[in-house]
Amino acid sequence: MNYFIFHFQLFLLIMVRLNAMTVVAPFYSSGVFPFRLKVLLSFFVALIVFPVIASKGYKMPDNLGEYTLLIISEISIGLYIGFLVSVIFAAFQLSGQYFAVQIGFGMSEVVDPVSQISVPVVGQLKNLVGLLVFMAINGHHFLLEAVFRSYELAPVLKGKSSVLGSLLKYLVYSFSGMFMVALKIALPVMGTIFLISVSMGILAKAAPQMNIMMLGFPFKIVVAFAVLVLISPLIVRIMQVSLERTFKFITKVLIYWPV
C-alpha cells in the first residue's frame, strides 16, 4: 500500500508540472482545445515519463504541508517554462502593433485564438505565422521534452531570495528580447511607412490642392503589404531563429536553475 501511495504521489507531481505548462504555453494553451483534453494529454505524457523518473528515486515528504509546497513548486516550474515561450509570441504580435496604426489598421482587431485577447489584424497574422513556424520546428515536442528534462535539472524549487532574484533576472532577459525581436520584424515596414509619410508631407506642400490624406492611407496599406510579402522569408527566418534561441534559453535556465 505504501509503495502504491509513494508512486501515486510522484505521478501526481509529474502530471501537475505538465498540466501547468499546457495552461500558458503556446499551442497547448489555445482555447480551441478544451481543458479536459489538456488534462488527458498531461495524463498520458506523465504515464510515459513516469517510469524513467521513478527509477531515479525521489524522497517524498511525510506530511501534507510539505507535499502541498512541493505541488506549488511543480506548478511554478511548469508555468515558468510555458511563460518563457509565450513571451516570444507576444513579440510577434507586438511587431504588428508597431505599424498597425500608421497604415490605418489600428481600429481593426480580431480575437486571437491562442491568447483569447483582441489584437490588430496584422499582429494576428504575425502570430499565426509564428505558430506555423513553431509547429514546423517541432516546438510543441520541445516543450514536452523541456518538462521531462526539468526533472533532471530542476527537481526542487526552494523559496529563497537568491532563487527569486535569479528567476526575475531571466524574466528581464526574456522581456528585453521580446522588444528586440518585435523591432527586427517590424523595422522594414516601419522604415518604409516613415519614408512614405515624409514623401506625402513634401507632396502636400508642393501641391496643396491635392487631397493627400485620402490618397495616403490606401497607398500606405498597399505598400506596407507589398513590403510584408517581399520580406516574408526574412520574417520567417527571424521567427525561427528567435524560437530556437528561446529553446536554448529555456535549456540554460533549467541547467542553472537555482536549487
In tens, the pLDDT along 86-105 reads 888 888 888 888 877 777 77
Count of CA atoms in the C-beta half-sphere (13 A) of 222:
5
The pLDDT value given to residue 157? 46
Q: Which residues, 6+ apart, have CB-to-CB distance to 39 below 8 Å?
A: 19
* Contact predicate 123/94, CB 8 Å: yes
209-238 burial string, b = 16+ CB within 10 Å, else e? eeebeeebeeebeebbeebbeebeeebeeb
Tens of pLDDT, residues 209-252:
777 777 777 888 888 888 888 988 898 898 888 888 888 888 77
pLDDT at 109 over 80: no
Neighbours of 198 (CB within 10 A): 10
Give the predicted TM-score (pTM) of the model.
0.78
The pLDDT value given to residue 51? 82
Residue 31: pLDDT band by 50, 70, 90 thresholds? confident
Residue with cell 512541493: 70
Tens of pLDDT, residues 141-197:
888 888 877 777 765 544 455 556 667 777 788 888 888 888 888 888 888 888 888
The pLDDT value given to residue 193? 86
Tens of pLDDT, residues 112-142:
555 556 666 777 788 888 888 888 888 888 8
pLDDT at 57 over 70: no
* Contact predicate 186/93, CB 8 Å: no
The pLDDT value given to residue 159? 46
* CA-wise closest residue to 96 among 132, 116, 122, 119: 122
